[in-house]
Each structure stands twice: as C-alpha cells, then as structure tokens.
Structure 1
Amino acid sequence: MENQGLVASTKSRIIPFEGIRNFRDMGGYKTIDGRTVKYGVFYRSAELTGMTDKDKEMFSSLGIKYIFDYRDDGEALVKPDPVITGVINERIPAIAGEVQGLVQSMEDLVKSELFKDLKTIGLADMYGKMALNSRSYSRLFEVIQDPENMGILHHCAAGKDRTGVGAALILSALGVPKEVVIEDYLITNETLREFQEMIKAELSGKLTEEQIKLFDAMMAAKEEYLQAVFTVIEETYGDLDTYFEKELNLTTEKRTALQNLWLE
C-alpha cells in the first residue's frame, strides 16, 4: 500500500547513531487536514545507555530538551540513561511490574515468567492494556503540550512496544491517519532487523524451537499489535476524540492547540 507519509521520507527520518538503535524523527507525516508534522520536535528510540561520544555530539545537534523514559526501575538501574547537560529526563513506567529481564540476558528473558505471561496473554493484549489507565501516557501528553519541553525523545528498551504505543497516540492526536500511524510503527522491523538476527545467532542452540518462535514474535512489529490499541480505545470510549479527552485530558481545545504548535 502506497501512502503519503512513508513514501517521502522513511530513510531520512532514521537517524544513524552508533550506540542507539531505532532512533527516528517522527516528523514529515501528513495529517487528515493536509498539514504536516514538524521535523525536529518528536523523536523515538530504543535505550540510550550505549550512547558514544560521537552520539552525544549528534544528540546535542538535534535540539532535544526532554527525554521521556517508559522503562521501569529495574531496567533503568541496569542500563541507565546518560546524564546530558540541559536535558530533562523523566521516567514513568508504561507497563506495571518489573521487566528487568529485558535488559540483562535475552536467553534469561525467553525463559522468564514475563515471557510465559506474554505467551499466554499475547502481545496484542499487552498493547491494548497499555492504552488504558496509564500514568505514563497521561504525563507524556502533559509534557508535549508545553513548548518549553520540545524537542522530546521518548524511548523504552527496544523502542518498539511502549514507545510504539506512545508514538501512535502522539501521531493520532496530531491527526495523522491510522494507516500511516501503523506503517510508522512497522519501520521498526527495518531498524531492528540486524539486532534481531544478531541475538538469534547468539541464542542458537540454547533455546527450543518454541522459544525461538516466541522470541521472533516478541521482536517483531506486527500490525495486529498496534491495531489492538485502536480496538481497545474504540471498545472503551467509542472513538479517539473521546479517548483523548476522557483518558488523557486532551480536550478539543487542547488538541487544537497541540496541532497548531506541532503541525505546519
């Protein structure tokens, strides 16, 4: 499917850091009313702990003032964000409970209780649950309404699941069509492909065939995962407008103001 947003600038929005994966500018997407999301305002990525000196120079050139971290205490303890002068760092977990295994050993993760839970409930269900009663996303939307906080980088461990939901909510609030929001999410399959293959090679011979399949499912960005967010929102609130107002305190007036700030 050809669409207006991705055809123009998929490669240009992927920023090639040395020690940070899946780093992307969320700008350039057309909205339903014909405007465009500004570049240099919203960024998304995986964890930042591998940032090199060269990365720090590039990071400083992007004008980022705020880092919003979806990880929990365990993850941040093992792989903390670097302290960058002049940049605010706020961390509010987007998933209840510790997922510390994500940042230790992939082999341990696949064999962990967390992985068993994901096998039982499925990633799509996990995505849907993230969209409701979230202190993390509620705070995110407070942050992005203040021009003093922008540009903002939001991230988790891989920049796929928790960040994927956050990115979908931001782009949807700005008026980007759902099909474009989903295709933005699917770019992760390109940006994490090399990392996924590297980890699979390291795990070769250590996991069962079923565990490998679970790993592939967990690392993949699938349309059905993000679609679950929209389905839960529609089932709970009827439409996105009501969701933004009731769940995230983004009234019609606030949403218009948000769009006027970050669209051109």
Structure 2
Amino acid sequence: MTSTRTDRWLRLDGTTNTRDLGGLPTVDGGTTVRGRVLRSDNLQTLSEADVRRLVEELPLREVVDLRTTAEVLLEGRGPLRAVPGVTHRHFSLLPERGQHTDVFAAEEDDAPELPAGWAESILPRQVAEADQDEPPAVRSYLGYLTHRPDNVVAALRALAADPDGATVVHCAAGKDRTGVVCMFALAAAGVPHEEIVADYALTAEVIDALVAKLAASPTYAEDMVTRDVASHTPRAETMTRLLALLDERHGGPLGWLTEHGFGADEQAALRTRLRD
C-alpha cells in the first residue's frame, strides 16, 4: 500500500483537505495521472492567490459541487463563481424537498432569499432494514447510493468529461460525499481497494484543521461543536466495509455503476480521464 505522501496535497490558503487523485497505483502496474481530478473541502474561502494558482497553474476548468441546495445558498457565492472559464456543476447526494435544479442561477441573484425551511431541507434519511446494524458512516454512504444514485452517476459523468483542464469535486468537508464519488472514480481507473481505502482515510491527517474551518461557518458550526472530532474522523474500516458490501451485493463498485446506467463505455471514459 502506498504510504501517505504529502506530495498529493495541494496546500491552499482557503482549504484544508485538497488533494490530487493522481499518483495512485493501479492493478495493472500503472499510475493515475496528476492534474486531472482533485478532491477538496468547501471552496468558499479560497484566497485570491488560491484562485490564481488553481485557474492559471493547473488549470482548473470545472467544479463538481456535491453540497445540498441549502448549503450552496447559505454559504453564498464562492470566489471561483466569478471566473468565466470555470464551469460549476451541482449534484446533491442527499434527498431534498422540492426540485432545486437551478441552484447556481438562484445564486446569481443579487440578494437571494432563502424560503423558510431551506436550512432544514434535507429529508430524514431512511435506512434499509438490512443496513440497520451497519456503522453510522456506512449507513450514510449507502443512503447516497439508495436515495441519490442519479446524482452519484451524474457527478461521475462530469468527472469523465474532458474540460481541457482539471476538475475539482467537493462537498463541505471533502470526506464523505466526496469520498464516495472518488471511490467510484478510482475504482473505474483500476485503483485497488486498499489504495482507495488509504486515500479515503488520508483526510484524518487534517481533521483538526478541517473541523476548525467548518466550525467558523454558521452553516456548519452547530454540527461541528455538538460532536467531537473523533466522530468526524474518517476511518479506514468505513470505506473497507462499503467496498465489501458493494462486492457482495453488486460485484464491486463497477457492478453498481453498470446497474445504474453508467456502463462499460462511460467507465472506460472515466478510466481514460484518470489514466494516460
């Protein structure tokens, strides 16, 4: 297994959990390519220097945002929204009330008003009877796959496209929703399970700074202070269990993708995106 290497981190002023999906070994002896797909926590607090570095040096051309509509509007417009050459795509992995499909158009309003209840717009997440005994994080991840398979697949389709530059996929912390989407992307690229697990668990190295950053935002502060840091820390056994369940129930991550309409051709396109 690859050791946790600091050269995959992208050290930015405004994020704490940004890293490249390049540099990971594959089952056929290859390596994923750097500068194609990045994973990150929330991008709202990027500095001007961060934006220049991302857009001019990478160059970043696409943002895949996995947050809910309420999160996007409560957090407000991030600095990358002002960059004409960067496309933003929104795919919430949590069930929401109503049809919030034009979130970025709403964000463009000078003073968007949040309808009552949008902050609590996430519906209670139902857990299948067979999954009741799974750890909480595993249940949450299975919930994404049960309740928003459409957006899991849509996010992967965005990652598979070639925007002639880099794509960054993110949520709030860049560990749970982002971790599940990146798991599928890496599986399509031929990265073995143990390396996918190691990449997922790498967020634990920055969890203190990550929790502190989110606690500074009114959107996330309550959740950060009502639970201890340990409860927010990703554990290798969580992703190991999720992969085991996918293996048992669907023949692996690629089996799940095939069952949900992301077939061999699209899997090959995603693999090509992440490989030479």
TM-score per shorter chain, which class? Answer: 0.7 to 0.9
Tell me the residue number matched to 1:232. Answer: 245
Tell me the residue number matched to 2:101. Answer: none
Question: Does structure 1 retain, via aligned residues, the 8 Å contact 2:93–2:144?
Answer: yes
Question: Does structure 2 retain, via aligned residues, the 8 Å contact 1:123–1:218?
Answer: no
Secondary structure, aligned partner of 1:43: strand
**How many equivalent pairs are there?**
234
Write the deviation string for residues 105-135 of structure 1: whole angstroms up to 9, x where unpaired. xxxxxxx998x989x9712211122234522
Percent identity for Structure 1 against Structure 2: 22
Secondary structure, aligned partner of 1:131: helix
> Partners of 1:232 and 1:247 in 2: how far apart?
16
Which moves more between the two structures, 236-245 or 159-168?
236-245
Question: Does structure 1 retain, via aligned residues, the 8 Å contact 2:66–2:178?
Answer: yes
> Partners of 2:240 and 2:96 in 1: how far apart?
24
Task: Determine whether 1:62 maps to 2:75.
Answer: no
Matches within 5 A, 1:1-16: 3=1, 5-6=2-3, 10-16=5-11
> Partners of 2:71 and 2:189 in 1: how far apart?
30
Tell me the residue number matched to 2:44. Answer: 49
Question: Does structure 1 retain, via aligned residues, the 8 Å contact 2:10–2:18?
Answer: yes
> Partners of 1:87 and 1:197 in 2: how far apart?
28
TM-score using structure 1 length: 0.78
Q: Show structure 2 runs of 5+ residues with no match.
A: 98-119, 127-131, 216-221
Tell me the residue number matched to 2:108. Answer: none
Tell me the residue number matched to 2:73. Answer: 77
Q: Show structure 1 runs of 5+ residues with no match.
A: 99-111, 201-206
Q: Which has the higher helix share?
A: 1
Secondary structure, aligned partner of 1:153: strand
Change (3 A) 1:263 1:199: closer
Task: Determine whether 1:90 maps to 2:105.
Answer: no
Matches within 5 A, 1:63-212: 63-80=59-76, 81-82=78-79, 83=81, 84-97=83-96, 122-132=136-146, 133-148=148-163, 150-196=165-211
> Partners of 1:191 and 1:217 in 2: how far apart?
12
TM-score using structure 2 length: 0.75
Write the deviation string for residues 38-72 of structure 1: whole angstroms up to 9, x where unpaired. 00001011111111111111111211111000001
Secondary structure, aligned partner of 2:16: coil
- Superposition RMSD on alpha carbons, in Å? 2.9
Shift of 1:150: 4.3
